[in-house]
Amino acid sequence: MSRTLQAVRGMNDLLPAALPLWQFVERQARELFAAYGYQEMRVPLVEHADLFQRSIGEQTDIVEKEMYTFEDRGGDRLSLRPEATAGLVRAAIENGLLHNQRHRLWTSGPMFRHERPQQGRYRQFHQIDCEAFGYEGPDIDAEMILLSARLWQRLGLGGLRLRINSLGTPESRREYRAQLVDYFTRHRDQLDADSLRRLDGNPLRILDSKNPALAAIVAGAPALTEHLDPASREHFERFQQLLAAGGIDFTIDQRLVRGLDYYSRTVFEWTTTALGAQDAVCSGGRYDGLVAQLGGEPTPAVGWALGVERLVSLLQASGIAAPPGPPGVYVVLAGERALLAGLPLAERLRAALPGVTVEVNLGGGGFKAQLRRADRSGARLALILGDDEVARGVAALKDLRGAGPQQDCAWDELPARLRALLE
């Protein structure tokens, strides 16, 4: 096949067989967001490149190396979104959602980053994301953790570990930053090119380096939590109390700084040991300065995003299958009169039995071939209509998963009988 007829590297097709697990995750998340009072919001996949540069930060991996940025036919510089927060903040400001209001929101969809494709790391990947605007205290930080923990529980996942840290405020980071620059300057000869570049502009980023050669030098760096301002310290302590009260286990990781510039105070990451190097399943934190930085009224904010591909892989690695789909009836149509009667009959059954799959055999085929298709469809029952059944106003019901005898049923009685048989 010519290269242009292949998917773009790092962008995956999701075939029908893979979808039930995805839908399981999405359904559980959707139900949980509703249960916690989060409202769904949807924003464009494409934004002005400038939005991401100003929010995520110039000296980050995402903006420096990973964005899909292009000029459109009108000459605008646009980017495919690498994450959801910036777009949601932009939309909240633009639509006046932040004036004297509080919002708990969620969204989901594809994100784009030009990274090196590998297991758990793709160029188009999917996130489920929640954000809260207008909540200043650590209660919402804790609620967001509780919500994610409940999602793992609902999905049947164990073994996820929560790491937390506090980045303090930009002011309190200044002093720390100076110490960090001092420390890394003393170890200059051990830094890689990225880190050297960041030493002046954004030394905290060095702590987030994925280069294993830097692990030792990063481990020896001074710790941020020792430089927290009193209010951030209190926020962090209260956050921990609330987590403990909610029965959430966590560890404090002083090196956790997260790969985006806009975070302040609380940051956190859920990781797993079951997926190898790409171990972060869900991550987020507080970004109290971002709304004002993008031109909105100062508004405290916090959020997280989970990677759906990684979560689905984790479900697979844990041997968790999607719950079975809706029970099904496969309608076998033997003959021309059966087709004429069968299509409207199937419509009546779908109207009477919401939540039941009524799949009609289309494209003809012999009786045996149709029964084979019925079997492969996963349906529990075959509903058989031949010319004889149509003449008598009945359908024959055959249990595809058990050995019960085939039985005739009058059309009017079908909904009640099917309901009973599919229970």
Residues that bind ligand ATP (CB under 6 A): 83, 113, 115, 120-122, 125, 127, 259, 278, 280-283, 305-307, 309-310
| Structure tokens that stand for 56 in this block | 């995520």
Nearest 5°: the CA angle 113, 305, 317 is 85
Q: Which residue has the tokens 């995805």?
A: 22
- Please say which residue, 168 or 259, places its beta carbon nearer to ligand ATP: 259
Beta bridge partner(s), residue 108: 128
Classified as helix, coil or strand, 91 is helix
Helix, strand, coil share (%) of the chain residues, nearest 5: 45, 20, 35
Burial class (CB in 10 A: 0-12, 13-18, 19+), 251: exposed
Least CB distance to ligand ATP at residue 214 (A):
15
- Please say which residue, 320 or 422, places its beta carbon nearer to ligand ATP: 320
DSSP code for 220: T
- Please say which residue, 69 or 377, places its beta carbon nearer to ligand ATP: 69
- Please say which residue, 136 or 279, places its beta carbon nearer to ligand ATP: 279
Least CB distance to ligand ATP at residue 337 (A):
54
**Total Cβ atoms within 10 A of residue 186:** 10
Least CB distance to ligand ATP at residue 362 (A):
38
- Please say which residue, 269 or 288, places its beta carbon nearer to ligand ATP: 269
Asked whether the beta carbons of 177 and 203 are under 8 A apart, the reply is: yes
Least CB distance to ligand ATP at residue 157 (A):
14
Least CB distance to ligand ATP at residue 125 (A):
3
Least CB distance to ligand ATP at residue 8 (A):
14
With CB atoms as reference, the residue minimizing the distance to ligand ATP is 307
- Please say which residue, 270 or 411, places its beta carbon nearer to ligand ATP: 270
Give, in order, the Cα–Cα distances in Å from 222 to each of 96, 142, 385, 419: 41, 27, 77, 66
Would you list the DSSP string of 347-388? HHHHHHSTT-EEEEP-S---HHHHHHHHHHTT-SEEEEEEHH
Least CB distance to ligand ATP at residue 10 (A):
8
- Please say which residue, 66 or 399, places its beta carbon nearer to ligand ATP: 66
